[in-house]
Amino acid sequence: MGICMRYTRNREDATEVLNDGFVKIFRNVGKFRVDDRSRQVLPPLQAWIKKIMVYTAIDHFRAQQKFPHLEDILGHQAALENRIAGPLETLAYEDLISLVQQLSPAYRAVFNLYVIEGFDHEEIAQKLGISSGTSKSNLARARESLRKKLKRIDERTFVRYDQ
């Protein structure tokens, strides 16, 4: 579910990706092979499942590109202000994921593939059907957007706790 949450905008979409991923896993579990010499099933199985979930999330991303979402920025800002419980250092994992989810779908996909999954720009470009230059640009813009969001959180938090 953690992988799915990183690639989607909300929990409902993440659940949809998770379900689609498990359907693919169950349909193809017979194709999964383990090296007979090592006889270790668990680590290769985990990697195989993770790969399927990432690719399912990418497929979901591509499908969403056909129907771009319109966002209410003020609604996101109000929701974020209500969720912050302390200074920047106490941001929870869920808060950080929420910030990543607020990125545009293209920025979010490139950010996750590069930063979290470790793909290089050539691989990302191939998987998303974009140029490697676009991948690099989207990553830079995603990072800058996250920096700005964190800075706004930091400023509001310290003003709130300074009073």
Indicate if 156 and 81 belong to the same structural domain: yes
Which comes out higher in pLDDT, residue 84 or 23? Answer: 23
Mean pLDDT of 51-76: 73
Q: Which two tokens stand for residue 35?
A: 């090296």
Q: Which of 18-22, 74-78, 120-124, 132-136 has the lowest mean pLDDT?
A: 74-78
**Residue type at 47?**
A
Q: Please give the mean pLDDT across all residues of the chain.
A: 80
Indicate if 80 and 158 belong to the same structural domain: yes
Q: How many domains does the chain have?
A: 2
Indicate if 65 and 86 belong to the same structural domain: no
Is the pLDDT at 33 greater than 80? The verdict is no
**Which of 41, 69, 97 represents a domain boundary (last residue)?**
69
Indicate if 141 and 154 belong to the same structural domain: yes
Helix count and strand count (H, E) for the chain: 8, 0
DSSP assigned state of 102: T
Indicate if 61 and 82 belong to the same structural domain: no
Q: What's this model's pTM, rounded to 2 decimal places?
A: 0.57
CB 138 within 8 A of CB 107: yes
Rg (CA), the chain: 18
CA 155 and chain centroid, separation? 25
**Structural domain harbouring 118:** 71-163
